[in-house]
């Protein structure tokens, strides 16, 4: 059972994919984390991420290793744990430029296909181009959407200070998300796009539990 879950940022892809995989005993792969780990490695190794040819030349260097446990998804670059640093603002701002470079995409796509092929019992793979490019023969393809307001509210709610107070500015978050989606949807190499045979689920008015229930039902129907 191979399940592809795509969609723009803030639609609930990660939370949904992890919960569906855990509930059904499937493996889980966060492909955004792989692009983020590549970006983090480039930033910490002095690669100029505004220069596509420098990015392309460096794209084969780091070993990017992903865990597939939905309860504890690990990610490392050249043996260094990347799970904290890949969520920083610096990486988030640079990741679209790095992931638009075809050499980066072909390297990471190959990794993704190898992981999916080796996942015994099946896997939930989340990203932007899983249904269209990485795993076009997936047993089920889901495309999650949500209004720009709902997505920004979810994302800014995730950014808390040490006392648990929300720290993000909603308007700025919405603008940053829109910018990243525009870059991800308009790039030439496998842009963010709904596959023709994907089931679209609008999560704007749904709780996480409702989205998970909906996707679990779709998986059971596809089995
Ligand atoms: O899902 P997440 O927000 O962590 O993804 C970070 C970035 O990685 C996206 O904005 C996009 O540029 C890139 N990405 C991609 N293809 C995927 C998954 C993520 O280009 N399959």
Residue-wise pLDDT for 23-50, tens only, equals 999 999 999 999 999 999 999 999 999 9
Q: Residue 31: CB within 6 Å of ligand 1?
A: yes
Distances (CA, A) of 105 to 13, 56, 151, 172: 20, 10, 26, 28
13 marked as part of a ligand binding site: yes
**Predicted local confidence at residue 164, as pLDDT:** 62
Q: Residue 105: CB within 6 Å of ligand 1?
A: no
**E-only strand ranges, the chain:** 2-6, 27-30, 64-66, 75-77, 80-81, 123-127, 140-145, 199-202
Residue-wise pLDDT for 110-166, tens only, equals 999 999 999 999 999 999 999 999 999 999 999 999 999 999 888 877 655 556 666
CA of 190 to the centre of ligand 1 (A): 11
Q: Residue 181: CB within 6 Å of ligand 1?
A: no
**Predicted local confidence at residue 162, as pLDDT:** 59
CA of 181 to the centre of ligand 1 (A): 9
**Predicted local confidence at residue 158, as pLDDT:** 65
Predicted confidence (pLDDT) at residue 218 exceeds the cutoff of 90:
yes
Measured from the CA of 183, which atom of ligand 1 is nearest? 12
Residue where the block lists tokens 């072909």:
106
Tell me how far apart the 2 most distant CA atoms of the chain are, in Å.
48
**In the chain, % of residues over pLDDT 90:** 87
Distance CA 155, CA 106 (A): 29
182 marked as part of a ligand binding site: no
Q: Residue 184: CB within 6 Å of ligand 1?
A: yes
10 marked as part of a ligand binding site: yes
Helix residue ranges per DSSP H, 59-101: 89-99
Q: Residue 9: CB within 6 Å of ligand 1?
A: yes
Residue-wise pLDDT for 180-199, tens only, equals 999 999 999 999 999 999 99
Q: What is the mean pLDDT of residues 90-109?
A: 96
8 marked as part of a ligand binding site: yes
Between the two ends of the chain, the Cα-to-Cα distance in Å is 7
């Amino acid at each position: 059972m191979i399940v592809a879950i795509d969609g723009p940022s803030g639609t609930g892809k990660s939370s949904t994919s992890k919960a569906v995989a855990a509930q059904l005993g499937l493996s889980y792969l966060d492909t955004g984390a792989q692009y983020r780990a590549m970006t983090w490695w480039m930033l910490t190794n002095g690669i100029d991420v505004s220069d596509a040819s420098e990015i392309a030349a460096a794209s084969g260097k780091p070993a990017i290793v992903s865990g597939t446990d939905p309860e504890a998804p690990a990610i490392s670059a050249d043996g260094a744990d990347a799970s904290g640093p890949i969520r920083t603002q610096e990486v988030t701002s640079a990741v679209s430029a790095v992931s638009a470079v075809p050499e980066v995409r072909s390297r990471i796509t190959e990794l993704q296909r190898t992981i999916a092929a080796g996942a015994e019992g099946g896997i939930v793979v989340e990203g932007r181009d899983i249904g269209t490019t990485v795993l076009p023969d997936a047993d089920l393809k889901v495309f999650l959407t949500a209004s720009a307001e709902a997505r920004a509210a979810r994302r800014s709610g995730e950014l808390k200070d040490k006392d648990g107070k929300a720290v993000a500015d909603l308007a700025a978050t919405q603008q940053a998300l829109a910018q990243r989606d525009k870059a991800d949807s308009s790039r030439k190499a496998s842009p963010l796009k709904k596959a023709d045979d994907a089931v679209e689920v609008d999560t704007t008015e749904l709780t996480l539990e409702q989205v998970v229930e909906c996707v679990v039902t779709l998986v059971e129907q596809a089995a």
